[in-house]
A and B are shown apart, each in its own frame.
Chain A
Amino acid sequence: MAEYVYDLDSVSKLLNRIIQYNSSEKASNWLQQRRDVQQTTNAISQFNQTFTAIPRFVGKETINVQPEDLDQLSILVPEFFVQGWTLDRLVRVWWLLQLPASNKNDYVAAIENLFNAAEMNELAALYSALPLLAWPEEWIARTSEGIRSNIGIVQEAIMLNNPFPANYLSEPAWNQLVMKAIFTDKPLHRIVGLDRRANAALANILTDFAHERWAAGRTLDPMQWRVLINFITEDNLADIARIASSVVPAEREAAAIVCTQTKFEPAKKLIPADLADAVRNGEINWNSIAEKTIK
């Protein structure tokens, strides 16, 4: 098992550059001073205090990121996403990279301790940092635990634009993430790895779920059908037929994409004729459906 699975030094420097770009001089100086103290004393209490105090000194403005920095970040840590973050969150994530990680037990204990005493925004920052934490396998159970959170911004930090769950969660835990995202009205198209981690068990859970919703007279997020593309069978073909003739335009469009992309021949016959071209030329795609139904 590796300590860091990416180029720590480059990422830390890049995040620092984005922080500098978004910080006042006063905030920069404070951070620099905290880092110097950290590097000389290596005291865990000061590390924790700084982590907690960050918003007081750097503020909570939404950050601006230069396109070239985004490009570089996406090369260093694929699918890691900082757009739309507030500065305090970015600084907290960067600060976590300053914690020595070579002693695995000490490192894990220190991070776990931060989780256990975290307030709402600290939790969001900690979960946002998952793709960058050392010893990634150590955070799998913690991630599953976080998915059970009832706090909206914590759920979002794990579920949306975060590559860690798709890379590390077991299939049951992954399926739980997707279902919890659906139950809490999250924009599913922002789940990293939604297509890659699709599986037969999840497809079954989703069709059962659809039956429940229909029985209750409730609606569905059309995006959920995306998971079925490679898992259409005789058993769920009727469900696909149902959405292909739905009165809700986004559902018909979802059915059109699913039926176009599936390899299950009987489903191909269900492509709504009036949408076939628009799907083929890309005019209708998952993002255009998300636009219509966005949460």
Chain B
Amino acid sequence: MCGIYDLTEKDLQPLTYTPAFLDKIKGMRFFDPHVHMTARTTDDYQAMADAGIVAIIEPAFWLGQPRTGVDSFRDYFSSLLGWERFRSSQFGIKHYCTIGLNSKEANNEKLAEAVMEILPQFIYKEGVVGVGEIGFDDQTALEEKYYRAQLELAKEAGLPVQIHTPHRDKKKGTQRSMDIALEHGLEPHMIIVDHNNEETVKEVLDRGFWAAFTIYPFTKMGNERMVEVVKQYGSERIMVNSAADWGISDPLAVPKTAALMHESGIDLNDIHLVTYANAVKAFAQSGQIDEADFDLAKNIDQSEKFNGSSILRGGQQPRIDKNTTIIR
């Protein structure tokens, strides 16, 4: 989401950038472990594939306005497992998701109860790599109640937990999220604490949790700051994501951050860890991620020819030339 920001005439001009950053990261593979693709276009998928993103995780979240019935949740969860998964595959990107009741909507108790009832139907599905994103928004009693209930669910299912930390009163909210998780007997290595910043990262790492950083303009981390974080804290248990959604955000945040890290002299191995390998390792604890599947998704050749006719394999989408005024 966009924060308060002074727009100038320059900010309103159409972008004419050439993605020079792509050269710096040529051949690298990325895993974006937090991106809300239901809010994004096919152009984004194409650009992500072009930038080297091979797999993504879409956490269940709210949709910008509150839902009023449990069936909306059911349909949303099944769209993450169905249509969105297929849409992603059309661009050669392996799509996983985490399933959970988000903190904002946990405040509607009647609805929250109904959602808790259907969650077990979804968290055991193929490609569900965690319970998420759950945690605190306003840090209310109801948020805490359903956060705790879902920690129990994750424990029972042996799934990692993807924790959303609040925008307001962040430091305290982050500490509290970790305290409660430990109270429920979850191991820190099963918990990915998301949306960290310079103020929260040290404690998260010191206590043995995974620290995820969201590169998101105006409200969360910028990638120059991210470079400094990696310089200071290294690459162990740190991962970056875009959390791109229906707000002003950037689905290429992970590859762009990798490019900036490379430019800033950070070791390639460290870049690999924070933009790919750590996230794979953390979420593969679900038993639901097989890296060989990334290649399988990638191997769909768009222009494969068979007896002279151009064909599309596995529902792969044809590429269109964006630089022409002609649309056919």
Rounded to whole Å, the gap between the CB of B284 and the closest CB of chain A is 14
Decide if B78 touches A119 in the complex (CB within 8 Å): yes
Decide if B126 touches A56 in the complex (CB within 8 Å): yes
What B residues does A235 contact at CB under 8 A?
none
Interface residues of A (CB under 8 A from B): 48-49, 52-53, 55-56, 116-123, 150-154, 185, 291-295
For the complex with contacts A119-B126, A120-B86, 7 further pairs of A-B residues with Cβ separation under 8 Å are A117-B74, A117-B77, A152-B314, A152-B315, A292-B307, A294-B309, A294-B311
Determine the distance from Cα of A52 to Cα of B125 in the docked complex, in whole angstroms.
6
Q: Tell me whether A116 and B82 are in contact in the complex, defined as CB-CB below 8 angstroms, given that A185-B312, A294-B306, A294-B311 are known contacts.
A: no
Within 8 A of A (CB), among B278-328: 287, 306-309, 311-312, 314-315
Decide if B82 touches A123 in the complex (CB within 8 Å): yes
Rounded to whole Å, the gap between the CB of A232 and the closest CB of chain B is 27
Within 8 A of A (CB), among B123-146: 124-127
Which among A119, A151, A292 has the highest number of chain B CB atoms within 10 Å? A119
Residue on B with the closest CB to A187?
B311
Rounded to whole Å, the gap between the CB of A166 and the closest CB of chain B is 23
Determine the distance from Cα of A200 to Cα of B90 in the docked complex, in whole angstroms.
36
Interface residues of B (CB under 8 A from A): 74, 77-78, 81-83, 85-86, 90, 118, 121-122, 124-127, 287, 306-309, 311-312, 314-315
A-B contact pairs, 27 of them (CB 8 A): A52-B125, A52-B126, A53-B124, A55-B126, A117-B78, A117-B121, A118-B82, A119-B78, A119-B81, A119-B126, A119-B127, A120-B81, A120-B82, A151-B82, A151-B86, A152-B86, A152-B314, A152-B315, A153-B315, A291-B307, A292-B307, A293-B309, A294-B306, A294-B309, A294-B311, A295-B311, A295-B312
What B residues does A123 contact at CB under 8 A?
82
Decide if B83 touches A118 in the complex (CB within 8 Å): no
Rounded to whole Å, the gap between the CB of B81 and the closest CB of chain A is 3
What B residues does A122 contact at CB under 8 A?
125-126
Determine the distance from Cα of A55 to Cα of B127 in the docked complex, in whole angstroms.
11
Decide if A120 touches B85 in the complex (CB within 8 Å): yes
Residue on A with the closest CB to B287?
A56
Determine the distance from Cα of A185 to Cα of B121 in the docked complex, in whole angstroms.
34
Residue on A with the closest CB to B71?
A116
Interface of chain A: mostly helix, strand, loop or mixed? helix
Decide if A116 touches B78 in the complex (CB within 8 Å): yes
Q: Tell me whether A292 and B309 are in contact in the complex, defined as CB-CB below 8 angstroms, given that A56-B126, A152-B314 are known contacts.
A: yes
Q: Looking at the complex, which one of B74, B85, B311 makes contact with A116 (CB distance below 8 Å)?
A: B74
Decide if A150 touches B74 in the complex (CB within 8 Å): no
Decide if A119 touches B125 in the complex (CB within 8 Å): yes
Rounded to whole Å, the gap between the CB of B52 and the closest CB of chain A is 24
Determine the distance from Cα of A106 to Cα of B307 in the docked complex, in whole angstroms.
50
Which among B81, B126, B306, B308 has the highest number of chain A CB atoms within 10 Å? B126
Rounded to whole Å, the gap between the CB of A215 and the closest CB of chain B is 14
What B residues does A49 contact at CB under 8 A?
124
Determine the distance from Cα of A274 to Cα of B26 in the docked complex, in whole angstroms.
54
Rounded to whole Å, the gap between the CB of A78 and the closest CB of chain B is 29
Q: Tell me whether A118 and B78 are in contact in the complex, defined as CB-CB below 8 angstroms, given that A153-B86, A293-B309, A294-B306 are known contacts.
A: yes
What A residues does B309 contact at CB under 8 A?
292-294
Rounded to whole Å, the gap between the CB of B62 and the closest CB of chain A is 20
Decide if A119 touches B85 in the complex (CB within 8 Å): yes
Determine the distance from Cα of A55 to Cα of B293 in the docked complex, in whole angstroms.
14
What B residues does A48 contact at CB under 8 A?
121
Determine the distance from Cα of A122 to Cα of B86 in the docked complex, in whole angstroms.
13
Residue on B with the closest CB to A53?
B124
Residue on A with the closest CB to B81?
A119
Residue on A with the closest CB to B290?
A60
What A residues does B74 contact at CB under 8 A?
116-117
In the A-B complex, the 8 residue pairs with the closest CB atoms: A152-B315, A119-B81, A151-B86, A117-B121, A119-B125, A120-B82, A120-B85, A52-B124
Residue on B with the closest CB to A295?
B311
What A residues does B127 contact at CB under 8 A?
119
What B residues does A185 contact at CB under 8 A?
312
Rounded to whole Å, the gap between the CB of A242 and the closest CB of chain B is 20
Rounded to whole Å, the gap between the CB of A128 and the closest CB of chain B is 16
Determine the distance from Cα of A295 to Cα of B78 in the docked complex, in whole angstroms.
28
What A residues does B125 contact at CB under 8 A?
52, 119, 122
Determine the distance from Cα of A56 to Cα of B78 in the docked complex, in whole angstroms.
19
Determine the distance from Cα of A49 to Cα of B85 in the docked complex, in whole angstroms.
21
